[in-house]
Amino acid sequence: MKFDYIIIGAGSAGCVLSNRLSENPNNNVAVIEAGGPSDIWKVKMPLALLYTMHDPKYNWKYYSEPEPYLNNRRLFCPRGKMIGGCSTHNGMVFVRGNKNDYERWKNFGLKSWSYEKILPYFKKIENWSGGENQYRGSFGLLPVNQSKNDNPLFKAFLGAASEAGHKINPDMNGEYQEGFGMFDVTIHNGERASVSKYYLNPVKKIKNLSIFSNSFVEKIIFDGKKAIGIEVKINNKIKKFYAEKEIILSGGSINSPQLLMLSGIGDASHLKEKGINVVHDIKGVGKNLQDHLETYIQQECKTPDSLYTYTKLIPKVLAGIQWFLSKSGPCSHSYLEAGGFVKSSPEREMPNIQFHFFPSFVIDHGLVNPNSHGYQLHASPNHPKSRGSVTLSSSNPYDYPKILFNYLKHEDDLKQTRECIHVARKILSQASLKPYSGKEVGPGIEAQSDEQLNEYIRSKAETAYHPCGTLKMGVDKMAVVDENLRIHGLQNIRVIDASVMPEIPSANLNAPTLMIAEKGSDIINSSN
């Protein structure tokens, strides 16, 4: 089968690309997805995100290698395995990042990725409930709404943040990022606003777009240095698809480098070790892996206002019925809807900490129910200096790759995480939270010294689910793609997903990934 464009992966970026490239009726576009459809209630219900995050039918459910600086723990790394990708199971927080994040990208030799250049694409994405202004868009495809969650713990938390000396910011995606407030969320009319629903579904029946689900790409085919097609398993049969113009890799920060290496693109010594013929030696494939590492500061709650109520059978059933009947009630929220960005010290150029407030305890990524009412503050340094990698475990495309984040390898990451705890404790001790606050559960009030906090962090810190950077954009010797998202030294192939980020932004990654896809679509449409 022949197409003009083949998009590998129907995640957040792939859905955007499918929509934008198929706008031209002369483009014959195919999108290939290893998972199945996402039009199911477990995706649509905001509070049901744990169902798909832990279900191997809908999620790759990766785990890292033993992390040497986290007491050799293997950390959970969920990645969406269905149409819509991670937008079908994420926390629905829509945060762009700080404008200085993108100025740093520009300074890596990527002049077309400055804040000024990428702002129009952020605006292009969104249909924002606050209306159009200099910084926000209201004509985009994706509903982005200011959270209206009225749980009293959110009001108390924001009051406490103000009492601790922090700004209240009504729009952290606007003119400035610093401060606390209710996050923008991709929740609309009580349902998850996934990228598949708002980008892919409106075009899925047009004649020039072909969608292949439950289809696993095993290899990219090259003629010399030119990408010409793919080998894909569909219904247990290997088929070959060919691209007349371009192959676009949008598998995400884990799957995209894995597929390139399986196809002979990567560090030659590593490929030879795995018995793979080298097509193109490019050292940076799979390197530069980054993520936000979160530490939870947990407090008992003296009132029945936390989500612990809904771990009980009858309240859970009643909340579910309410949602199915009216798309309202507790199940219509994600509850990761309040937080902020702060500087741990005044001399810092930009906020170096992100907080998420959650009105419950989280145990083992939600697999274990809490045994009491409580709330917690998720705290993570915005710009970790530690770097990890994705490598092959074998030449078999069905064997999971080896993922090593190297969290806290750089001493500064540990220092900043301790600073996160100090700032969090000050907020949680303020008067607005006094009617609710019981004892500190984690780290526990007895943990005060650097050594005690270090041990808590190493034993309890968890991923924020923001892996990126493994096929980074840039001009240095470890860069994999150029500023037009083409792989250095190859023809007819681009990468458009979170793997191209040279440095992790101060943000949850869905919004920046969509921006990259919108800009990437424009680059492709203007070059062909």
At residue 402, the 3 state secondary structure works out as strand
What letter represents residue 99's amino acid?
A: K
Are 33 and 10 in contact by the 8 Å Cβ rule? The answer is yes
- The tally of CA atoms less than 13 A away on the side-chain side of residue 423 is 32
Query: Under 8 Å CB-to-CB from 381, ≥6 apart: which residues?
Result: 292, 293, 352, 353, 413, 416, 417, 420
Are 526 and 485 in contact by the 8 Å Cβ rule? The answer is no
The secondary structure element, H or E, covering residue 341 is strand 338-342
Sign of CA dihedral 82, 83, 89, 90: positive
Is 466 one of the catalytic residues?
yes
Number of H helices, E strands in the chain: 13, 25
Which one, of 248, 245, 249, 251, lies nearest residue 28 by Cα? 245
Considering 292, 373, 383, 466, which one is annotated as catalytic? 466
Are 258 and 401 in contact by the 8 Å Cβ rule? The answer is yes
The CA distance from 136 to 429, in Å, is: 34
**Other C-beta atoms lying within 10 Å of the C-beta of residue 314:** 8
Cis amide bond preceding 25, omega within 30: no
DSSP states of 266-291: E-HHHHHHTT---SEE-TTTT-SBB-
Which one, of 227, 254, 248, lies nearest residue 490 by Cα? 227
Active site residues: 466
